[in-house]
Chain A
């Protein structure tokens, strides 16, 4: 056994935590951009685009993230494409997040009241003008609380990157545990760090939800 927990171990965990945050940001940005496209496709006027994007969402939401990770990390090299753990983890998270965020955002687009769409159409705005100037500003307000809430899911799911050998928080815990063999202590510390990352976001999302949508409150009062 390699002695007891010391400052170096904690430094290593801190480093892992930074990679967890980094990977979450990659997942959020990549998955956010792809998810936005998915959401737009889901409400597209073209039936084929809608059908394909629905299929994509159903396929990804029916597959565990772990299997997507394995598929990109072990499966792609079998086809002759080598990927680093970071690429595999980042790509898997992007795919996974895009399906879920796309579905959340589609709901937000659709919950913008119908008369707003009709009024924009009645003012002869083009489809892109309608989306950018009328629907999007309202949809963003509706989308903020669930999106912040979903960021918690992203952070938690980065822990699965440990299975492809990417050294983030969970993996750095495993590595330290291999030398110290004090699993209960180490995984408790890991859990506390995850909690410290996620809980503020959960609270923030909850607060946003409770506060509601200021624009809509004004509209109802008028």
Chain B
């Protein structure tokens, strides 16, 4: 075995890595924001009490959670194409990741909703709050605060999973790595570096979510404890 590592040859490509990392973060950001919206709507839908809505949300969650992301990406990619719609690989990647993470956030946020004690909602009803007010103040915010740690780990996992979109040639970090390794024949160094970049990205995301948590949940900041 002749060990002959040359990281310098890879490191001088850092602008490409940086660009890929930024694209990965962009994908993660879009999917996180839209996925949260879908998750809240889906969780409300699952608890709405209308059998059809509950059913549809249930089917969506189970279908996504029991099939691989890779297949979902191909389905969105070729599905849109067979409808005659042409989108860039980036748009398709963002759409597929959003659909994927939406199902997981639905399930997490629903668990949060279910953990709100019945008495809290009854008390809010007793105070004559409207249904929307109850959902917003009594159910949604406390629920999200409770499940915030699992939500954020899900979003970090999503960022890592976005590497799969390299398979439809979205130009994110893994795709950049594939290109560089085929150009330099230095596969080991390239993928080690990319792994390090991913680890840094996940640390950055974790730190970001921690700060965001301090900002949007003042109670946690003041008391230092979760609900």
**Given known contacts A170-B71, A194-B71, A199 and B66 CB-to-CB distance under 8 angstroms:** yes
A198 to B166, alpha carbons, bound, how many Å? 25
- Cβ contacts A to B, 27 pairs, < 8 Å: A62-B160, A62-B199, A62-B203, A63-B195, A66-B164, A66-B166, A67-B163, A67-B191, A67-B194, A71-B195, A74-B181, A74-B187, A75-B190, A75-B191, A76-B188, A156-B67, A156-B68, A159-B69, A159-B70, A160-B68, A170-B71, A184-B78, A191-B72, A191-B75, A194-B67, A198-B66, A199-B66
A19 within 8 A of B: no
B181 to chain A, nearest CB (A): 6
A67 and B71 form a contact (CB under 8 A): no
Closest 7 pairs (CB-CB, A-B): A183-B78, A75-B188, A74-B187, A62-B199, A159-B68, A198-B66, A64-B163
- Residues of chain A touching chain B, judged by Cβ–Cβ distance below 8 Å, are 58-59, 61-68, 70-71, 74-81, 152, 156-157, 159-160, 162-163, 170, 173, 183-184, 187-188, 190-191, 194-195, 198-199, 202
Q: Which residue of B lies closest to A158 (CB)?
A: B68
**Given known contacts A78-B188, A81-B1, A190 and B71 CB-to-CB distance under 8 angstroms:** yes
Residues of B within 8 A of A70 (CB): 174, 177-178, 181, 187, 191
A40 to B51, alpha carbons, bound, how many Å? 46
A63 to B82, alpha carbons, bound, how many Å? 34
Query: Majority SS of interface residues in chain A?
Result: helix
* Residue from B70, B79, B160, B188 within 8 A of A71 (CB atoms): B188
* Residue from A71, A183, A188 within 8 A of B191 (CB atoms): A71
B192 within 8 A of A: yes
Q: Which residue of A lies closest to B186 (CB)?
A: A78
B74 within 8 A of A: yes
**Given known contacts A184-B78, A191-B71, A202-B62, A64 and B174 CB-to-CB distance under 8 angstroms:** yes
7 more contacts with CB within 8 A, not counting A62-B202, A71-B188, A188-B75, are A62-B203, A66-B164, A68-B195, A71-B191, A183-B81, A194-B66, A198-B65
A74 and B63 form a contact (CB under 8 A): no
A176 to chain B, nearest CB (A): 13
A184 to B178, alpha carbons, bound, how many Å? 26
Residues of A within 8 A of B186 (CB): 78
A189 to chain B, nearest CB (A): 10
Residues of B within 8 A of A61 (CB): 202
B157 to chain A, nearest CB (A): 9
A198 and B67 form a contact (CB under 8 A): yes
**Given known contacts A74-B187, A191-B75, A79 and B67 CB-to-CB distance under 8 angstroms:** no
Residue of A63, A81, A163 with most chain B CB atoms under a 10 A cut-off: A63
Residue of A61, A76, A81, A152 with most chain B CB atoms under a 10 A cut-off: A61
A163 to B178, alpha carbons, bound, how many Å? 11
Contact residues of B between 39 and 85, Cβ < 8 Å to A:
62-63, 65-72, 74-75, 77-79, 81-82
A67 and B195 form a contact (CB under 8 A): yes
Residues of A within 8 A of B194 (CB): 67
A65 to B62, alpha carbons, bound, how many Å? 23
B198 within 8 A of A: yes
B199 and A187 form a contact (CB under 8 A): no
A202 and B71 form a contact (CB under 8 A): no
Residues of A within 8 A of B1 (CB): 79-81
A70 to chain B, nearest CB (A): 5
Residues of A within 8 A of B181 (CB): 70, 74
